[in-house]
Amino acid sequence: MVATSPVPLSLYIHIPWCIRKCPYCDFNSHAVPAGEAIPEDAYLDALIGDLESALPAVWGRTVRSVFFGGGTPGLLSGAGVARLLAEIRARIMVEPGCEITLETNPGALEEGRYAAFRDAGVNRLSIGVQSFDDASLRRLGRVHDGAQAERAIESALRSFDNVNLDLMIGLPGQAETAAQRDVARALGFGTTHLSVYQLTIEANTVFAKFPPPLPEEDVVARAQEAIDGLLAQAGFDHYEVSAYARPGRRCRHNGNYWTFGDYLGIGAGAHAKITLPGGGVVREERFRAPDSYLRNAAQGRFVSQQRVVAADDLVFEFALNAFRLRDGFAPALFPERTGLDATKFEPGLREGVRRGLIARDPERIAPTGLGMRFLNDLQALFLPAGEDGAPQTASGS
């Protein structure tokens, strides 16, 4: 069976540099050597070439959202962002009113650039606060303190009316009430979106090599429950596992991931998912290290890995994303986005219902409260036969 309706398309742009690599971070980010500047012009040239090389796969389609992620995209200049967005619009159709998000970090010297980002065409900002507590920020290896975070938010709100704040809970040495205080402090700024992630120890990080003492699971669970109550009382919709939004302010870009839409990914280490015209899904990865990416880009090479996703893997990948949505999804979404017959999804659904992890009716398939609490177990029900293990999920807002 082939997908029966057009699959939405987003564009992700990876900026791989940051001021300092955090000990918990497993993203493709690289600290800028002290006293040096990022090679902005060369990198923008490479990004434009990268986009041009990808156009044949998406010819005639329209981009519905753009997301600058990293690293720290806020290290770019406003002029650089303006140039890149103009070059994108000259090469591919961009939806009117397209959501354009740029990630920033307090303490990364970009606060004075917020107005320039707005003038360049960015209409949504995401600020990596993580915590307002100075001791917690030091343990996380962040380059900012609580006061800098507050100044960054206040500065951002002078230029943007759509701002997300990233916060983390379950931090080393964090008491249950401390996480609640961070969220309450964030609410005081009146931003439109909050992303609240639990700190997890990822492989190939400093924290994996030197694990810090983390709070007990029941402490984190109680903190999460209290945070859910605080945000609900403030009028936020808890629409995805880690995402909360005021009415009409859900993140469209991440929503496209969670509903298994397509996305181009350009930049060092960026990933792409593209549905083929005749059916099937292709995944790509760009050269990961910034130097390697730039060196290969100069030769017109951008993609380091490409594969057609097997049908059984598509079932799992769809579940990995769609079950993050608390309200679930329409049953027709699975065949529309995967091109597979709905029967491929049925064994995992039946087992999830039997275990009380999934609720289903003719209109909607959704995780239950138990399913949200044990999301990894729910998602693992859709692994290809013979595979086991808890899936990894991560996203930024």
Mean pLDDT, the chain cut into blocks of 10 residues (397 residues total) = 71 96 95 91 98 96 97 95 98 97 86 90 97 96 95 95 98 93 98 97 95 94 95 98 97 98 98 92 97 98 97 96 98 96 96 98 97 96 72 44
| Domain contains 277 | no
8 secondary structure, DSSP code: P
| Domain contains 265 | no
For residue 331, give the nearest of 321, 343, 320, 314 by alpha carbon: 343
pLDDT of 110? 65
pLDDT of 278? 82
Whole-angstrom Cα distance, residue 304 to residue 289? 11
Domain that holds residue 324: 311-397
What pTM, to 2 d.p., does this model score?
0.94
Asked whether the beta carbons of 17 and 75 are under 8 A apart, the reply is yes
pLDDT of 391? 38
| Domain contains 130 | yes
| Contacts made by residues 146-149, CB under 8 angstroms, sequence distance 24+ | 148/106, 148/107, 149/106
**Together in a domain, 317 and 238:** no
Domain count of the fold of the chain: 2
**Which of 223, 238, 256 is where one domain is finished?**
256
**Together in a domain, 182 and 35:** yes
pLDDT of 109? 65
